[in-house]
Structure 1
Amino acid sequence: MTEQRIPAQLAEIIDDFQAMEEPERLQLLLEFSRSLPDLPEHLAGQPELLEQVVECQSPLFLALELGEAPGQPVEIFFSAPPEAPTTRGFAGVLHEGLNGLPADDILAVPDDVPDQLGLTRAITPLRMRGMTAMLARIKRQINDARAAA
């Protein structure tokens, strides 16, 4: 079992959320929704290359690219509609907090990270489960890619 730890770039985001009052946290989540990058050209228009996270209330899809050598960065890509700011915001948090990290660092992230953002009173449990499912899918895709290599 991997020791659980939060990478520095994700810990900083969690600290930012925890330093705010609830209404400000929702505003920060909205900012993350706006900063979620578009899919790169090689994935745009190729839905078969993305996995849908069905636990999300809004359509959210993700894909990973990871190198074969240990320690290489994992690239994470999300697709979510602009009219789904909560879902996009969660994806933005995970993208900014995890993208570019080595696979082992991502696998070590505690599964309860979404709860640590301090949004559980402001966001419905169903939406919180969506973010937890995004993280679980990322980890599963890493493990599947490793098993296939």
Structure 2
Amino acid sequence: MTATGTDSAAALPEGFAEIAEDFHALGGRDRLQLLLEFSNSLPELPERYAEHPELLEPVPECQSPIFLITEVEGQGRDATAHLFFSAPKEAPTTRGFASILAEALDGRSVGEVLDTPETVTNSLGLAEVVSPLRLNGMAGMLARIKRQLSEKAGL
């Protein structure tokens, strides 16, 4: 792993650091393949949201239509964060980003999610295989997640 990757991973929540290490262990094409594999593992929306998509917030920074919503168990920074995404199967990059965020941050404390650096999109080493515009979409997802969690946790 590069020094930059190591430094970035050290500041990330544990689950995200492990994902970053997996990406850095691969070359460019294999990183893209891993991103596509993540896209296939995005959890389906729970029925309460699948039947009410109007409850989800759009992420206009993404080139493909993606929507998200968060839930919080408890109050404050120690509350547990839950993340839910809706993204079309025809948008594997966007789905992959959503799946990475879900795997890395779902079930973590609100504080851990809020402490996730905005530069997290750079920590995966995807800049060489994914356009900056697409990476901006992942950053947009993270910003909305943080805002929603902060509001819902009473911070």
- TM tier, smaller: over 0.9
What are the residue-to-residue correspondences of 1:1-149 with 2, within 5 Å?
5-70=11-76, 71-147=78-154
Maintained 8 Å contact 2:39/2:94? yes
CA distance in 2, matches of 1:64, 1:132: 16
How far 1:69 sits from its partner (Å)?
3.0
In structure 1, runs of 5+ residues without a counterpart are none
Q: Which has the higher helix share?
A: 2
Question: What letter matches 1:106 in structure 2?
Answer: V
Which consecutive aligned stretches of 4+ in structure 1 deviate over 6 angstroms post-superposition? none
Q: Secondary structure at the match of 1:30?
A: helix
Q: CA deviation at 1:67?
A: 1.7
- Normalized against structure 2, the TM-score is what? 0.89
Q: CA deviation at 1:146?
A: 3.1
Which whole-Å CA distance do the structure 2 matches of 1:21 and 1:104 have between them? 33
1:44 deviates by 0.4
For 1:61-91, what per-residue CA distance to the aligned partner results, in whole angstroms no more than 9, with x for missing partners? 0000002334232110000000000000000
Count of aligned pairs between the two proteins? 145
CA distance in 1 between partners of 2:146 and 2:11 (Å): 14
**Distance in structure 1 (CA, Å) of the matches to 2:96 and 2:73:** 27
Letter in 1 for 2:149: I
TM-score under structure 1 length normalisation: 0.93
Gaps of 5+ in 2: 1-9
